[in-house]
Amino acid sequence: MPRRVGALALKELTHHGLVLLAVGAFLAFVWAMLLLGAAIGPRTITVLEAHADFVRIFLPLLGLALGRRLVVREYHGRTQRFLEALPVHRLEILVTKYGIGLALLGGVTFASLAVVGAVAALKEPVTGRWLLVILWRSEVFALALWSFFFAMGLLGRWRFPLYLGLFVLVVTLDRSTDVELARVGPFALVNETLPLERHDLPFHDLGVTLGLAAGLTAGAAALALVNEGSVAEAAAKTMSRREKAAVGVVFVAALIALDVADPRRTEAPFALEGEHVVRRPDARLAVLHHAPRHAPAAAALADVLAEDRRGLRDALGFGPLPPVHVVLRETLEPHVFERVALDDAEDGVLVRARFTDPAFDREAFRAFVLAEALDVATDGRASFEPHAWVRSGTAGWWVTRGGALPPAMAAQAASVARRRTPSWDTLARWQRTEERFGREATRAWSTAAARAAVEAVGEERWLAFARDVLEEDPPVGALAVIDARRRPVDARFEEATGLDVPAFERTWRDALRRRGIPGAYRLPRGEGFVRVEAEEGDLRVVRWGVRFARPPDDGALCALVHAAVGPFDRPIDPDETRRVEVPCAELDPAGERLVGRYGPGDRAFFAIEVGADATGAPIRLFSERRTIGGPR
Amino acid sequence: MIALYRKELRALWPLGLLAFVVLSGDVFERPFTERLDEKAWEDIASYVSPGDADTFGWMLILLAGFVAYAAFPREHDERTIRFLHALPIRPRAIFAAKVAAGLTVLFGACAVLMGTDGLMGSMGAETLTGGHWRARLAFTHLALQCAFCFVAYAHGLFASVLRLFGLIPYALLLVVAHVLEDVFAPAAWIDPTRLLAARYHGAALVVPWGPLAAHLAVALGVLGAAYLSWMGPADRVGRGLERARRTVVGKLALGCGTVVAVLAVLVLLVVVSEPSEEVDAPEDPSVVETPSFETRTVRTERWEVTYPVSHEARARALIDEADALHEAVRRRLGADVGPTLVADLTEVSGDHRGIASWTHVRVGLVTEPDLTRLRRVLAHETVHAFQHRLSDRRQGQHERATRFFAEGSAEYLSYEVVPGDRARDVGRLVAAGAWERHGVRFEDLVDDAHLRARYDTTLAYALGERWTAALVDACGSDAISDALRAMGREDAPRGLSPRTFWEDTLRAAGCDLERVDAAFARLMEAEVARRRARIDALPRIGGGVVGARDGRVRIVALLDRAPEPGWDFHVRLRRGPDAEDTEAFAVRGRADPDDPRRIRFEVPRALLPAARFQLLFGVRLEAHAWPWSATWQWASAP
């Protein structure tokens, strides 16, 4: 047998020798390039990384190409029949091909480590044991790699779907399970520790990989030998392009299905931990403070929030509202509330506020918390622009019902009313209104609108409208889109309240006129401006300021809020904005300068805000998006 | 030829279908799973969003590769090409028909993609996010995608000459391109996927004309080579080689030729492995004495240290304390001794003072004459080595979420082990300034992609150090090692967002993220209050490109106050927020003699990373301290 195998091996080497020599020559060039990369790479730890890169990138490619050359071509061209006609056993043919491939991959792996190791030894304390550890890992990986490609080569036309199937499997394992592929068997052998581990052999991973290689080899042998090799021969017929495309389509469909099903691991729900947490389990509410002295304020807030949630939930006919986690953040301004984005898998709302401050606007915060909970409860549909004012208005009305609008909220609404006539359009174009007047003012504006509607038609009709718009289980996909087009919010409003839009606008205007604007006389009046001026060359300066018709409160701050915006307009997250504050009394009449922040080709958002005691939050006098002009 | 084109097109329809499903398959999914009236065009057509388009680019490369490999290899393997040669058509017409059919499939798939995405993207019903589809923009993107497909197809056709072996040279090209990006950022355009990276001037797409022309020219050349290989003389040469191999002389000639080629490459390899003084130039050449190539290795109880013989005295001084530093770090982390660490002190880098991974650290002994700072760098890198072990390497695997903690805790502990009040104080000033002036918060810090998009990435050190202090304050002195161990626990969930990762980690470590975050906010407010006057004294730096002259781009930074003596200004440039730190490079500036508040920089035009690029102004208030920086801003090449 050895003689016959030797003769077969010689035949294979003669047949493929030139290609293999050419590949060998090119691999020398590959090593040179990898070594050069390792030598000049700014984050190289050891030159041996060049070997690791070779094993991870080039060895699989080489295995793939060798598999095709040694196995696929033979079976596809039916030339194995000539070999089978010779007085050699089929197993001997198989052993020869397997042996040659393994020797080549193993030899190349060894050569890679020898070349790279020799260069590394010039500068690094490379030891024999270290190289031996790397060699073992690399060679066993090469063995598994060749066993895999050898077996796949015998699968002929089924290689392509199997490769794709394995890809889907790997994606699924990675996304849907806690399996870390980089720590499993062959992958673990070539992970980031390959060039760095100097002492310990990963016996477990070596064992798993050897087992895998043995399994693959046995599978390949079975394929090639069973039924006199007819299985491998039948599989060798080339797959037509149509079949390949069908496989590809199935593969893409599987990926889409995986994406839609989203079988991600479920995480533990978000929870606030520690001794300083006030909990209201029946309302799914927790308030975190940081010291015993804050406990009374936290408990009082928890009680009122729990009451709000229970009441609105029942009024809207919702099931349990998503959990709310409130965190004391003493560094925030009293009128600023933060919502922290949680993962999709984490149910609930996490908000921060400085609720221990005497100036804390509790009603505005209650409305904020309710609105955010409604957002989550409706799967985000309540934040869809035409619905957003109903969400905010309902939350604001709920916490202020039975009394007058709190002064700060009233003043914020008044600051809008001074520049906009109450109209449906200002509510429906929520994103624009919010950008123009700021978040707090727009929330107050929607609250005033909702209160006016309730006053006109009664609570029941408003709630019927809110229930219709703020659905707990909104339709998905195209159904929601069709539903929103078929029954726009103004039609729903008229249907539920019996009040048409012009009548509602009149009612709202009358309500504002009847009550007057509390504290309006204390609001600053003026016009903000922003100009972009040319400086040296292409340099640009933003000049901003306010021309006051009525001076602001003593010590009030004037601010330029600005942000770079991309080529496509989107609502601007307050976290993305920057703020330059100057005491209003010290404003340069010619305008303050923001130098060189934006240049030609930039798009930027600018807003001018003025602080006012009456409103708590600053009043926005001006806002615009602008493209900074200049040469391209 | 038209008939042949039609025949090829018919043969390729299955691949056309595949391309359609791969690129536009979401048209069967989105309408049923997403509310399209809430979506903007760029939510669906992610390739129009500003930024790199690696994933999309690779999808197109794979598709183009499939289509290209379908053109000739099988015709040759099954010898059906002979039937085509038997037709009364010239070889170049056969080639042209195949190429035209392949490109038709690819261009068609891109056009369908643009159509389906435009259709879905035009359903947005919100006033700001709706109505983003613009015909001119869509068609410019489509033209770029088609050009990209042509480039990928041409290379695919050429690679297919060598069948699967053809992938190896291209894999090497990718590796080389990646290395080039790291060491010479302006060469990033070599990566063809950069053609699809959307950059905008206002709302108009910036077409990368230079790289596009270069790639198209190369693609045309490669297409010509593919023609020669498949249909022309190379085909005949190949057959000649086959004949030559049948003779002993021919075999000998080919074998000797190959051996000579291998030897030539090995010679080249030896030449390039010689150290070069120009590589990784240190920041301050005045402190660098040329290190000797000769090295020496010393073993201690905990270390195996290699150093250049030329810097023996400095190395010995550091080695004498290495075990003590190791022990001090180990004790603070409550870790076991672990394996011997390898320290390579031959590092000469302009990118970093030290670097560590698993059991290896590299320290720039040559570029740092101060022993205290060297000890601190070694301590810092030692902490990294412990981090990898305590977290079972998971800290590195979650780098996006943990970079600030990795660097911050290493900074925190290295100052514990090697005190240095002055340098630490400047770091805290920079941290407090960033908190106060730029409004950097934990949400920015916890997501490294977010941090690097807007801020100087070295803030991860200064702010991370303060966050670590808050962690220790809120959760106890063992909190650092507890957090690392929690990251490395076997059952730690995977695939978490950065924030959720920290919620999970700290919960497992017996603490609470919100508690730590609140402590961090309090700590930073206290730092700001303590350093108020010095923060107010930090310069506000704005500026931009003012023009070009003599092949140099002139950049000016304007300060809101006159600079103090010793302030060292620089501007960093990069191609965009997706660029790695190693791709950014810095240029020093000098004050205008007529106006000291005006700092001028000159950058050779050839070094500009792209037509639209980002710059970051900064000033080093003290040597060897973290710089105070503005925020990244966009600029256009003049």
> Which pLDDT tens digit goes with each residue over A263-306?
655 556 688 888 889 999 999 999 999 889 999 999 999 999 99
Do A18 and B545 count as a contact with CB atoms less than 8 A apart? no
- Kindly report the backbone phi and psi dihedral angles of residue B200, in degrees, each rounded to the nearest multiple of 5, phi listed first: -125, 145
CA distance B604 to A290: 55
Contact B404, B460 (CB under 8 A): yes
User: Whose CA is closest to A48, among B358, B118, B542, B607?
Assistant: B358
Lowest average pLDDT, out of A54-63, A432-441, B22-31, B276-285, goes to B276-285
Which strands, in side-by-side order, build the sheet including A557-565? A578-583, A557-565, A603-610, A619-627
Query: Quick check: B285 pLDDT over 50?
Result: no
Do A28 and B265 count as a contact with CB atoms less than 8 A apart? yes
Do A342 and B500 count as a contact with CB atoms less than 8 A apart? yes
Q: Is A619 helix (H, G, I), strand (E, B) or coil?
A: strand
Q: How many CA atoms lie within 13 A of A340 on its CB side?
A: 26
Mean pLDDT of A416-444: 95
Q: How far is CA B533 from CA B328, B427, B429, B439, B530, in A?
A: 36, 16, 11, 17, 8
Do B557 and A536 count as a contact with CB atoms less than 8 A apart? no
Query: Quick check: A137 pLDDT over 80?
Result: yes
Do A123 and B359 count as a contact with CB atoms less than 8 A apart? no
Strand partners, B297: B306
Do A198 and B339 count as a contact with CB atoms less than 8 A apart? yes
Contact A26, B169 (CB under 8 A): yes
Provide the pLDDT for residue B329: 97
Provide the pLDDT for residue A240: 74
Of A25, A253, A599, the CB nearest to B545: A599
Mean pLDDT of A450-471: 96
Q: Which residue has the tokens 């290899």?
A: B73
Query: Quick check: B284 pLDDT over 60?
Result: no
Provide the pLDDT for residue B239: 62
Do B342 and A198 count as a contact with CB atoms less than 8 A apart? yes
Query: Quick check: B43 pLDDT over 60?
Result: yes
Mean pLDDT of B182-206: 90
Mean pLDDT of B50-59: 91
Do A197 and B168 count as a contact with CB atoms less than 8 A apart? no
- The size of chain B, in residues, is 638
In chain A, the percentage of residues whose pLDDT exceeds 90 is: 61
Mutate to test the interface with A, among B67, B128, B245 (most CBs of A within 10 A): B128
Of B21, B397, B493, the CB nearest to A249: B21
For B312, residues 6+ apart whose C-beta sits below 8 A from its C-beta are B296
**pLDDT, tens digit, 9 for 90 and up, residues A149-179:** 999 988 887 887 888 888 878 877 777 777 7
Which strands, in side-by-side order, build the sheet including B295-299? B295-299, B303-308, B341-344, B360-363, B354-357
Question: Which amino acid, one-letter code, is at B297?
Answer: T
Pairing of β A338-340 and β A277-280: unpaired
* Residues on chain A touching B511 (C-beta within 8 angstroms): 273
Residue B461 structure tokens: 């050190």
CA distance A256 to A87: 52
Mean pLDDT of A325-341: 92
* Residues on chain B touching A41 (C-beta within 8 angstroms): 179, 182-183
Mean pLDDT of A523-531: 90
* Residues on chain A touching B556 (C-beta within 8 angstroms): 536-537, 539, 596
Do A288 and B514 count as a contact with CB atoms less than 8 A apart? yes
More confident call, B330 vs B246: B330
- Kindly report the backbone phi and psi dihedral angles of residue A559, in degrees, each rounded to the nearest multiple of 5, phi listed first: -140, 145
Q: Which residue has the tokens 């406990």?
A: A295
CA distance B296 to B284: 25
Rounded to a whole number of angstroms, the distance between the first and last alpha carbons of chain A is 76
Looking at the complex, report in whole angstroms how far the Cα of residue A21 sits from the nearest Cα belonging to chain B: 7
**How big is chain A by its Cα radius of gyration, in Å?**
36
More confident call, B581 vs A630: B581
More confident call, A316 vs B81: A316
Q: Least CA distance to A200: which residue of chain B?
A: B339
**pLDDT, tens digit, 9 for 90 and up, residues B395-436:** 988 999 999 999 999 999 999 999 987 889 999 999 999 999
Do B358 and A193 count as a contact with CB atoms less than 8 A apart? yes
Q: How far is CA A279 from CA A294, A305, B455, in A?
A: 14, 11, 38
Of A41, A68, A539, the CB nearest to B179: A41
Do B128 and A288 count as a contact with CB atoms less than 8 A apart? no
Query: Quick check: A457 pLDDT over 70?
Result: yes
Contact A371, A393 (CB under 8 A): no
* Residues on chain A touching B258 (C-beta within 8 angstroms): 21-22, 24-25
Do A566 and B49 count as a contact with CB atoms less than 8 A apart? yes
CA distance A255 to A259: 6
Do B167 and A125 count as a contact with CB atoms less than 8 A apart? no
Q: Least CA distance to B279: which residue of chain A?
A: A40
For B388, residues 6+ apart whose C-beta sits below 8 A from its C-beta are B356, B357, B358, B395, B396
What is the band of A190 on the pLDDT scale with cuts at 50, 70, 90? Answer: very high
* Residues on chain A touching B473 (C-beta within 8 angstroms): none
Mean pLDDT of A52-65: 94
CA distance A631 to B206: 13
Do B26 and A193 count as a contact with CB atoms less than 8 A apart? no
Do B125 and A122 count as a contact with CB atoms less than 8 A apart? no
What is the band of B299 on the pLDDT scale with cuts at 50, 70, 90? Answer: very high
Task: Provide DSSP, B24-47.
Answer: HGGGGTHHHHS-GGG--HHHHSGG
* Residues on chain A touching B351 (C-beta within 8 angstroms): 42-43
**pLDDT, tens digit, 9 for 90 and up, residues B357-388:** 888 999 988 888 899 999 999 999 999 999 99
* Residues on chain A touching B268 (C-beta within 8 angstroms): 32
**How big is chain B by its Cα radius of gyration, in Å?**
29
CA distance B85 to B144: 35
Q: What letter does residue A197 receive in the DSSP assignment?
A: -
Of B26, B172, B522, the CB nearest to A33: B172
Would you give the distance in Å from CA B261 to the centre of its chain?
34
Q: Least CA distance to A354: which residue of chain B?
A: B518
Mean pLDDT of B279-305: 69
Do A567 and B200 count as a contact with CB atoms less than 8 A apart? yes
Contact A573, A544 (CB under 8 A): no
Looking at the complex, report in whole angstroms how far the Cα of residue B597 sits from the nearest Cα belonging to chain A: 12
Of A34, A380, A601, the CB nearest to B202: A601
Lowest average pLDDT, out of A238-247, A462-471, A569-578, goes to A238-247
Do A18 and B304 count as a contact with CB atoms less than 8 A apart? no
Do B167 and A273 count as a contact with CB atoms less than 8 A apart? no
Q: State the angle between helix axes of B135-159 and B54-69 in degrees (0 to 180), rounded to the nearest 10.
A: 50
Mutate to test the interface with A, among B175, B348, B523 (most CBs of A within 10 A): B175
Provide the pLDDT for residue B275: 40
* Residues on chain A touching B69 (C-beta within 8 angstroms): none
Of A245, A385, A601, the CB nearest to B636: A601
Mutate to test the interface with B, among A43, A126, A542 (most CBs of B within 10 A): A43
Q: How far is CA A87 from CA A4, A5, A96, A229, B465, in A?
A: 9, 11, 15, 16, 75
**pLDDT, tens digit, 9 for 90 and up, residues A66-88:** 998 888 877 777 776 676 677 77
Q: Is B301 helix (H, G, I), strand (E, B) or coil?
A: coil
What is the band of A355 on the pLDDT scale with cuts at 50, 70, 90? Answer: very high
Do A45 and B360 count as a contact with CB atoms less than 8 A apart? yes
Residue A557 structure tokens: 């701050």
Of B129, B179, B360, the CB nearest to A37: B179
Question: Which amino acid, one-letter code, is at A567?
Answer: P
Task: Provide DSSP, B316-356.
Answer: HHHHHHHHHHHHHHHHHHT----SPEEEETT---SS-SEEE
Provide the pLDDT for residue B246: 61
What is the band of A564 on the pLDDT scale with cuts at 50, 70, 90? Answer: very high
User: Whose CA is closest to B577, among B628, B537, B551, B615?
Assistant: B615
Do A538 and B351 count as a contact with CB atoms less than 8 A apart? no
CA distance B194 to B177: 11
CB pairs under 8 A between A and B: 376
Give pTM, 2 decimals: 0.88
Query: Quick check: B619 pLDDT over 80?
Result: yes
Q: Is A90 helix (H, G, I), strand (E, B) or coil?
A: helix
Looking at the complex, report in whole angstroms how far the Cα of residue A404 sits from the nearest Cα belonging to chain B: 32
More confident call, A293 vs B82: A293
Query: What burial class does residue A464 get, using C-beta atoms within 10 Å of its C-beta: 0-12 exposed, 13-18 middle, 19+ buried?
Result: middle
Q: Among A173-187, A614-628, B522-536, name the most confident range.
A: B522-536
In chain B, the percentage of residues whose pLDDT exceeds 90 is: 70
Provide the pLDDT for residue B258: 57
Provide the pLDDT for residue B244: 62
Contact B344, B361 (CB under 8 A): yes
Rounded to a whole number of angstroms, the distance between the first and last alpha carbons of chain B is 47
Of B362, B500, B633, the CB nearest to A45: B362
Strand partners, B574: B614
Q: How many CA atoms lie within 13 A of A471 on its CB side?
A: 13
What is the band of A258 on the pLDDT scale with cuts at 50, 70, 90? Answer: confident
Query: Quick check: A423 pLDDT over 90?
Result: yes
For A315, residues 6+ apart whose C-beta sits below 8 A from its C-beta are A398, A463
Of B38, B40, B521, the CB nearest to A331: B521
User: Whose CA is closest to A539, among B613, B539, B558?
Assistant: B558
Q: Is A351 helix (H, G, I), strand (E, B) or coil?
A: strand
Query: Quick check: B286 pLDDT over 50?
Result: no
* Residues on chain B touching A331 (C-beta within 8 angstroms): 521-522, 524-525
Do A535 and B245 count as a contact with CB atoms less than 8 A apart? no
Mutate to test the interface with B, among A10, A23, A45, A73 (most CBs of B within 10 A): A45
